[in-house]
Amino acid sequence: MKSLLAATISVIFGLAPLPAQKIEKIGVPELEKILASPENVLHVVNFWATWCPPCVTELPYFEKLSKEYEGKGVKFILISLDFPSQIDSRLIPFLEANKITADVRVMTNIDYNSWIEKVDASWQGNIPVTLLFNNANEIRYFHPEELEEAKLRELITKYLQ
């Protein structure tokens, strides 16, 4: 009875735990498939890590806008560059603590120099970086630094067709 009361109070006051975040592990082939997507949607792909302060600062903007643009022709993918061995110990607890529910994937190939040029030839390996693209409409924009919410919204509006 006591646990039922606690569960009811948790639900009423919004204290119920979020469902566990599903984290997809991707390698270079999966990244290439994302980048070659023929879908007529605007892809917003952000490369980030929990240990990167500017990444952590901008992450709530991606979460907020992913909800706002749901079903409106925009697909958000947040690719974490955290070590794959730290998914359970660091990444999932971080996502849960920060209520991140957007599509998060973890890059398993930590030899960044072997694949960053596939994202953009000008990328020097710094994070955060964001790539906006729609291959069907030949749209591609690479943003090599932190984004403020207003700038992210501006870019989405500009490239959403």
User: Rounded to an integer, what distance in angstroms lies between the CA atom of residue 153 and that of residue 24?
Assistant: 26
CATH of the domain at 97: 3.40.30.10
Q: pLDDT digit string (tens) for 79-96?
A: 999 999 999 999 999 999
CA distances from 10 to 56, 100, 101, 147 (A): 27, 19, 19, 35
Phi, psi dihedral angles at 138 (to 5 degrees): 55, 45
Tell whether the model's pLDDT for residue 15 goes beyond 50.
no
Q: pLDDT digit string (tens) for 88-140?
A: 999 999 999 999 999 999 999 989 999 999 999 999 999 999 999 999 999 99
Decide if 43 is inside a domain. Answer: yes
Burial class (CB in 10 A: 0-12, 13-18, 19+), 155: middle
pLDDT at 59: 97
pLDDT at 6: 41
Number of structural domains (the chain) is: 1
Handedness of CA 150, 159, 61, 45 (dihedral sign): negative
Domain hosting residue 74, numbered range: 21-159
Decide if 12 is inside a domain. Answer: no
DSSP annotation of 17: P
Q: pLDDT digit string (tens) for 146-158?
A: 999 999 999 999 9
Decide if 106 is inside a domain. Answer: yes
Decide if 138 is inside a domain. Answer: yes
pLDDT at 161: 73
Decide if 7 is inside a domain. Answer: no
Q: In what order do the strands lie in the sheet with 74-80?
A: 24-26, 104-107, 74-80, 42-48, 129-134, 139-143
80: closest CA among 90, 71, 70?
90
Q: pLDDT digit string (tens) for 19-59?
A: 456 799 999 999 999 999 999 999 999 999 999 999 999 99
pLDDT at 20: 54
Decide if 44 is inside a domain. Answer: yes
Tell whether the model's pLDDT for residue 18 goes beyond 80.
no
Tell whether the model's pLDDT for residue 7 goes beyond 50.
no
pLDDT at 22: 77
Per the listing, tokens 């566990």 go with 20
pLDDT at 8: 39
